[in-house]
Amino acid sequence: MRVLTKQSAQVHYHGPAYFSEFEGLLFDTRKEAWNKKAIRTGHNGHHSTIETLAQVKACIRAGQSTSLGGYPLYFITSDGAALSFEAVIQEFYNVSWDFHRQASTGWRIVACVVNYEDSALYCAHSGKRIASAYAEDEAKA
């Protein structure tokens, strides 16, 4: 077991090392002039069309609602199934497996879109209802 002393903690702990901002840029705050050059673009942000695993990760990091308006989002697989953010996070191994092997076992995500009015949209994995932007009143009735 490693014992941290005040001196070793100061040497090894640098506080939050990374900062990601609204436009999806990732910065390393440990470097001088860190805000001048991003170490990664597309770190977070929603993609309506998804072609890479990095885009799935960016959508997950950006959250399950749009940044403007707070509209609820969900994923669509290559076979047309709707998946909630919770299901994709829970089953991320399967999502990764499909991308890495160029397969489609039901977890190949191809889009992340807004559910505007479908009050009867359910996650194909969990069976839980996916929230909608404008049909919430109808769903409660």
Condensed to tens digits (0 to 9), the pLDDT of residues 44-85 reads 788 899 999 999 999 998 899 998 889 999 999 999 999 999
> What is the reported pLDDT for 2?
39
The full set of domain ranges for the chain reads 6-36, 53-140
Which residues are CB-neighbours of 27 under 8 A, at least 6 positions away?
Answer: 18, 19, 20, 21, 34, 35, 37, 38, 39
DSSP 65: B
Q: Which two tokens stand for residue 32?
A: 């001088």
Q: What is the pLDDT of residues 102-120, one digit of tens each?
A: 999 999 999 999 999 999 9
Asked whether the predicted pLDDT for residue 21 surpasses 70, the reply is no
pLDDT value for 36: 83
- 95 close to 107: Cβ distance less than 8 angstroms: yes
Report d(CA 123, CA 22) in Å as an integer.
28
Mind listing the pLDDT tens digit for each residue in 123-138?
999 999 999 999 865 5
User: Beta 18-20 vs 73-77: how paired, if at all?
Assistant: unpaired
**Whether the predicted model's global pTM rises above the 0.85 cut:** no
Q: What would the two tokens of residue 113 be?
A: 């879109």
